[in-house]
A and B are shown apart, each in its own frame.
Chain A
Amino acid sequence: MTVLCLVEQDGTGVSDASLRALTFARALAGGRLAAVLFADADVLASGTPAGQELAGYGVSDAYVIEPGQLAGYAPLAWARAVAGLIEGAGATAVLAAGTDRGSEVMAHLGALSGAPMAANCVAAAPSGDGTWQITRQRWAGLLLEDAVLEAPAALLTVATDAVAATPAATPASLAVHPYQPELADGDLAVRATESAERSSGVSLATARVVVGGGRGVGGPDGFAPLEELAGLLGGVVGVSRVVTSEGWRPHKQQVGQTGTKITPELYLACGISGAIQHIAGCASAKHIVAVNSDAGAPILSHAEYAVIGDLHQVIPALVAAIKERNASA
């Protein structure tokens, strides 16, 4: 049985979400684990970061669609290429990380084949009768659905927090196969034509520390101490939905079901009550510390530690204490 996994890159390596998807796919495969990448075949040459990562995660075959064949991100064309590979590689399941691109390409793949696609799976296993028993996230992970998937080839996206990225016990020997997809008319009608430079600074999704601000911040002018603290800790500010709905901060800073899912070492949630949609975005933080004036706020049943008090006093005092500590160090 061959499981085929769409792999996204991050710089010269494999993205963390794809490493997680590969970990999930390997457990499912029990046979051959294959990867499909839209990249220059050189990035997988032996000794390269991506090549080592794929081999380390147990990938024995990488199918590479090079920019000469298909340049830039084009969701339908990517799906067409993967569809061609399902037959070529004899795949019984195709997986991608439940990222924006992974979800989009898998949706197109489902539409191309008319087959169902199960989004944000956290568990999957073949039942032996041609069906798959799966568990998938609903409500951004606040709810789980047990379901039966009936399809010739299972199409799944893997929830980005389903498993931790874990290399294989023994690395595979990676064979790289350049692949020429047969595209149809119109497959390139939608293609990313411009990609601005990566915005400088730490991104919310990958930040090691996130300082959260909610309704308790009080208004657009209340974020300066949070920004200062985030800066001191090498982190970024994240906010709750009410903050973006009120227009206090831009939406790209929102943590939650309709914003970004964060996975920091520390999430310091200030003046955030802890609505369940917000918890969906921050539950994967390793440690949650709440600063809240209400000792009964729901966030306290998701946090490990709490300070009961007004963030407008606690945060400036914390900033001062850290600065003092730095000065004396």
Chain B
Amino acid sequence: MEVLVCVKRVPMVGGKIVVTGDGQDVDARMSGFAMSPHEECAVEEAIQITERLGGNVSVLTLGPPAAAEQLRDALALGAGRAVLLETDGREWGPIATAGEIAAEVRRRAEAGQGYDLLLLGNEAADTGDYQVGVRVAHTLGWPCVTGIKGIEIDGGGVRARREYRGNEELFEFGLPAVMTVKEGINLPRYPSLPGRLRAKRAVIEEHRPQWRPDGLRKEALRVPETERKQAAVLGTGTDAVPALVALLDELGVLP
């Protein structure tokens, strides 16, 4: 089983989001970067699948040279190979991104080492476009399902589960296929020390695709204007309980 996981380097945001002066990016100078959360689970899922069925996990990112850091994070967890589609720092749209991922899949197939399965996150934490995986699948002509919370693979077939309005949906289809996963599908492991050392030494395969615009052109980012509140303190400790009961009564939520 050859699995490719696509990950994205995104700013870590804690208390609040700050936009850069030109309105084009999130200011991450103070916060640093990480792999987008759903994709941490995609990496873990790929590793679990190859632990069960054999095979290899490759990890890919399209991003600036520093995105090699997120590839090494995945290598430290157990991915065996990493591909950096290096950009000049400009933001890529979902159509162009999907095109380059599909190109990597085809390069690999032409080299006789084609992938059986592509895993992505359901949506990137930062841009939230909800479509890169689907577009890759269309380009390759592979089946695709998004938002997956459970994967079983046997005999070339996939059983993928997800939630829909409190129900469970089951999808069955053949490989090769594309799936996007959501956090909760597993609990990602922590890297081991030997894993970290191996990741540090690993050679990352690099390509430099040409940036091209999508039909959706970003003008500016801004933080929505919300009423910044400061909570009215009802009291301290259990002394506040009568006031809290009165409040819940006023809000009409008491039985």
**B and A form one assembly:** yes
Q: Residues on A close to B: CB < 8 A?
A: 10, 73, 75-76, 98, 100-101, 103-104, 106-108, 110-112, 114-120, 134, 137-151, 157, 186, 189-199, 203, 208-209, 232-235, 244-245, 247, 250-252, 254, 257-259, 265-266, 275-277, 283, 287, 289-290, 295, 298, 300-310, 313-314, 317-318, 321-322, 325-326
**Interface check B51, CB cutoff 8 A:** no
Tell me the minimal C-beta distance from B28 to chain A in angstroms.
12
Chain B residues near A251: list those with CB within 8 A.
Answer: 149, 183-184
Chain A residues near B146: list those with CB within 8 A.
Answer: 75, 100, 103-104, 107
Partner-binding segment picked from B60-68, B201-209, B220-228: B220-228
Top 8 closest A-B pairs, CB basis?
Answer: A251-B184, A116-B215, A107-B131, A111-B138, A306-B231, A309-B237, A107-B134, A303-B231
B238, A314: Cβ atoms closer than 8 Å: yes
A276 to B12, CA, bound (A): 10
Q: Residues on B close to A: CB < 8 A?
A: 13-17, 19, 26, 37-38, 93-95, 98, 123, 125-131, 134-135, 137-139, 141, 143-147, 149, 162-174, 182-184, 187, 214-224, 226, 228-238, 240-242, 244-245, 247-248, 251-255
Chain B residues near A104: list those with CB within 8 A.
Answer: 130, 134, 145-147
Q: When the two chains form the complex, which single residue of A106, A112, A194 contacts B138, counting CB atoms closer than 8 Å?
A: A112
Chain A residues near B244: list those with CB within 8 A.
Answer: 289, 307, 314, 318
A190, B217: Cβ atoms closer than 8 Å: no
Q: In the complex, which residue of chain A has the Cβ closest to the Cβ of B252?
A: A265
A318, B245: Cβ atoms closer than 8 Å: yes
A56 to B245, CA, bound (A): 39
A137 to B129, CA, bound (A): 10
**Known contacts A100-B164, A140-B128, A265-B252; is A190 also within 8 Å of B38 by CB?**
no
A115 to B174, CA, bound (A): 27
B144, A190: Cβ atoms closer than 8 Å: yes
Tell me the minimal C-beta distance from B164 to chain A in angstroms.
7
Chain B residues near A308: list those with CB within 8 A.
Answer: 233, 235-237, 240
B13, A276: Cβ atoms closer than 8 Å: yes
Q: When the two chains form the complex, which single residue of B14, B138, B166, B252 contacts A203, counting CB atoms closer than 8 Å?
A: B166
Q: When the two chains form the complex, which single residue of A144, A148, A307, A321 contacts B217, counting CB atoms closer than 8 Å?
A: A148
Chain B residues near A252: list those with CB within 8 A.
Answer: 163, 184
Q: In the complex, which residue of chain A has the Cβ closest to the Cβ of B131?
A: A107
B222, A146: Cβ atoms closer than 8 Å: yes
Tell me the minimal C-beta distance from A185 to chain B in angstroms.
10
B134, A283: Cβ atoms closer than 8 Å: no
Q: In the complex, which residue of chain B has the Cβ closest to the Cβ of A234?
A: B255
B216, A149: Cβ atoms closer than 8 Å: yes
**Known contacts A138-B221, A192-B169; is A151 also within 8 Å of B14 by CB?**
no
